[in-house]
Amino acid sequence: MRNVLAVIMAGGQGTRLSVLSEHRAKPSVPFAAKYRIIDFTLSNCVNSGIYNVAVLTQYRPHSLNDHIRIGRPWDLDRARGGVQLLQPYQTFGRDIWYRGTADAVWQNWNFIESQRPNMLLVLSGDHIYKMDYRPMLEFHERNNADLTIAVMRVPIEEAHRFGIMEVDGSYMVTRFWEKPKEPPGDLASMGIYVFNSSILKVRMEEAGPDTSREDFGKHVIPSMIGRDRVFAYLFEGYWVDVGTLQSYWETSLSLLSSDPPLNLYDPDWVIHTRSQEKPPVKFTPQAIVRQSLVANGAVIHGQVYHSVISPGVYVAPGAEVQDSVVMNDTWIGPGAKVDKAIIDKDVVIGIGTKVGVGEDIDTPNREQPDRVYTGITVIGKGARVPKGFTLGRNVLVHSFAEEKDFTHFADGIVPSGESVGGEEVGT
């Protein structure tokens, strides 16, 4: 009899998302106006008939814990099974963080064994995708596999970001490379695994001074190739890693097309979330809204074009928002202009302020040139941008930046590639 426990890895910092993950774990980053990233994995579980779920948290878990709580929106508030939020804990002689994906699972093995699963479904909580896990579980059983890895084909120029594998005619894995510099193929791991629990325990118990078992991709999977029955399950549906600001922005705005690759309106595959109780959207007579997602509680007096507007956002008269993602309860003042920006929660954009100005998209941010370099201006949670300022491209405004942090820009212009704020404040 199949007994499956889903384990969602949700402890990642998501550093490539810059200020969006300064004060929250990557899986709790808002997405598509009303959701969090982790909602997609949780919804995949319940839509696949899996109601026994453990969420492993670590980095800044408070927002994630508050969002999931007892799991009611996903029908996971159950006396048997349901959702459990697990994080690192101190025991006698041990006080360590999770050292990798496999170590995170192993540190919670007592809980896992208490659920008596014969199959462990290990999932990432920071991807946007819709997947019915049942065909993969059936594939695992049919092949009498010890480990099944969900895979998809990726462009060869992006393959270095993934675990890459070689398979035979039956899709048994014969070789595996973790993030190779020169990928030998395009069959990429999605970070979704089905383990036979008993086999995983044996492999984890092999850990020693000279035998690491901290990470699935680096250690556990290579240790199983050639010794255990390891198979690849080919997935051909929608799956995106929104791990960079550019991919997050692109994936968000792709929802605005007439035929989006991710259908949020499918009644047969509902994406569940914990929604805020807010009044309906309000468009005043002067409002103009085109090709946008606008969530509950938003009040639009100005103009919104090709943008994602989250709950409680206020766009004042004369303000314009274009090609941008604006998160919960942000206030955009009269006459303000926002273009190609990501604005986090509870931000204030002052009267007449311009965000994302100019053609200088090639000047990367001086502080985070590897994260903010594609022309997107990013404003962190709770920031206050003074009235009358102009922010160029690739500008980074840290979470909880105050008006005084802008004072050294005496002319009211924050040039492209500059940063504002940066001290660790707020909660």
Distance (Å, whole) CA 75 – CA 46: 8
Give 389-403 pLDDT, tens digit per residue: 999 999 999 999 999
- Please choose, from the candidates 73, 67, 78, 72, the residue with its C-alpha nearest in 3D space to the C-alpha of residue 27: 67
Whole-number percent of the chain with pLDDT over 90: 84
pLDDT band at residue 427 using 50, 70 and 90 as cut-offs: very low
Give 301-337 pLDDT, tens digit per residue: 999 999 999 999 999 999 999 999 999 999 999 999 9
Give 28-56 pLDDT, tens digit per residue: 999 999 999 999 999 999 999 999 999 99
Average pLDDT value for residue range 146-170 = 95
Distance (Å, whole) CA 18 – CA 379: 10
DSSP 187-227: EEEEEEEEEEHHHHHHHHTT-BTTB--S-IIIIIHHHHBTT
Give 381-391 pLDDT, tens digit per residue: 999 999 999 99
- Please choose, from the candidates 385, 285, 301, 303, the residue with its C-alpha nearest in 3D space to the C-alpha of residue 339: 303
Q: What is the mean pLDDT of the chain?
A: 93
Q: How many CB atoms lie within 10 A of CB 371?
A: 21
For tokens 């943008």, the residue is: 307
Whether the pLDDT of residue 62 is over 90: the answer is no
Average pLDDT value for residue range 118-138 = 96
Tokens at 140, concatenated: 């695992």
Q: Is the dihedral of CA 374, 238, 64, 7 positive or negative?
A: negative
Average pLDDT value for residue range 143-169 = 95
Among 14-18, 90-94, 176-180, 238-242, the least confident range: 90-94
Domains within the chain, CATH numbers bracketed? 4-254 (3.90.550.10), 282-420 (2.160.10.10)
Q: How far apart are the first and last CA of the chain?
A: 46
Residue 338 bridge partners (DSSP): 321, 355
Distance (Å, whole) CA 191 – CA 54: 16
Cβ-Cβ contacts under 8 Å for 78 (sequence gap 6 or more): 51, 71
What DSSP state is assigned to residue 40? H
Give 340-350 pLDDT, tens digit per residue: 999 999 999 99
Whether the pLDDT of residue 89 is over 70: the answer is no
Cα–Cα–Cα angle for 233, 236, 241, rounded to 5 degrees: 95
For tokens 């492993």, the residue is: 56
Q: How far is CA 309 from CA 20, 80, 129, 294, 328, in A?
A: 16, 38, 21, 5, 8
Whether the pLDDT of residue 425 is over 60: the answer is no
Q: How many CB atoms lie within 10 A of CB 160?
A: 15
Whether the pLDDT of residue 222 is over 50: the answer is yes
Q: How many CB atoms lie within 10 A of CB 168?
A: 10
